[in-house]
Amino acid sequence: MESNTATLGRRERILLAAVAALLALGLFLLRGGLSPAAPLDKLARQSLEPAVALSNGRPSVIEFYADWCEACQAMAPAMERVEGEHHGQLDVVLLNVDNPRWQPEVDRYDVNGIPQLEFFAADGTPVGRAIGARTQDELEALTTALISGSPLPAMAGVAETSVLKPAESTAMAGPRSHS
């Protein structure tokens, strides 16, 4: 009788292990399984540091985004395609506005809406900005212009960036000066 009880305990342990394995597999599959990361996450993880992108001789697009931003998520597959099609010709950099690490860049580029795209020529000079989601065709037109060194195409929400010329004199009147 003792061997029968030991066998029954062994069977219960095997059954329990099988049920646990099935539950773990079910949870794994519900959480996405082995599917690739979402395009937004993937792009953010593979992004260069902004300083590297702006100094390596390729035009760059810096996207300010947030994980919770539906427009950013909707635009991510198009950004991923642009990055894949122009890899080695163009740098795509994603900076999460909710990450305190990027606060200096958020301030520097006066981010006031997301997604916000900052466009830079191959020499790192800012050439334009776009606020709001862009379609695949719009992103393609913008990046093609960047790569070719052409002016950005005219479209709603896209503006060129002007570079201030240095003052001719170091003595400059301030905004409160009456001279």
The reply to whether 94 belongs to the active site is no
By residue range, what is the domain housing residue 30? Answer: 1-35
The reply to whether 90 belongs to the active site is no
Q: What's the domain count of the chain?
A: 2
Q: Are 57 and 122 in the same domain?
A: yes
Q: Are 104 and 21 in the same domain?
A: no
Q: Is residue 20 part of a domain?
A: yes
What is the chain's alpha carbon radius of gyration, rounded to the nearest angstrom? 26
Q: Are 48 and 87 in the same domain?
A: yes
Q: Are 4 and 68 in the same domain?
A: no
Q: Is residue 9 part of a domain?
A: yes
Residue with tokens 């958020």, as numbered in its chain = 106
Q: What integer pLDDT is reported at residue 147 of this predicted model?
A: 95
CB 104 within 8 A of CB 64: no
Q: What integer pLDDT is reported at residue 40 of this predicted model?
A: 82
Q: What integer pLDDT is reported at residue 17 of this predicted model?
A: 82
Q: How would DSSP label each residue in 57-69?
A: SS-EEEEEE-TT-
Q: Are 19 and 71 in the same domain?
A: no
Q: Is residue 149 part of a domain?
A: yes
Of 43, 62, 69, 114, which residue is the catalytic one? 69
Q: Are 97 and 134 in the same domain?
A: yes
Structure tokens at 114: 């997301």
List Cβ neighbours of 146 (8 Å cut-off, separation of 6 or more): 59, 60, 61, 90, 119, 120, 121, 127, 152
Q: Are 50 and 96 in the same domain?
A: yes
pLDDT, tens digit, for every residue of 111-169?
A: 989 999 999 999 999 999 999 999 999 999 999 999 999 999 988 778 776 444 444 44
Of 43, 53, 72, 95, which residue is the catalytic one? 72
Q: Are 43 and 30 in the same domain?
A: no
Q: What integer pLDDT is reported at residue 37 of this predicted model?
A: 59
Q: Are 53 and 95 in the same domain?
A: yes
Q: Is residue 50 part of a domain?
A: yes
pLDDT, tens digit, for every residue of 28-71?
A: 655 544 445 577 888 888 889 999 999 999 999 999 999 999 99
Residue 44: CATH number of its domain: 3.40.30.10
Q: Are 62 and 140 in the same domain?
A: yes
Q: Are 44 and 31 in the same domain?
A: no
CA 2/CA 16 separation, integer angstroms: 21
Q: Are 30 and 75 in the same domain?
A: no
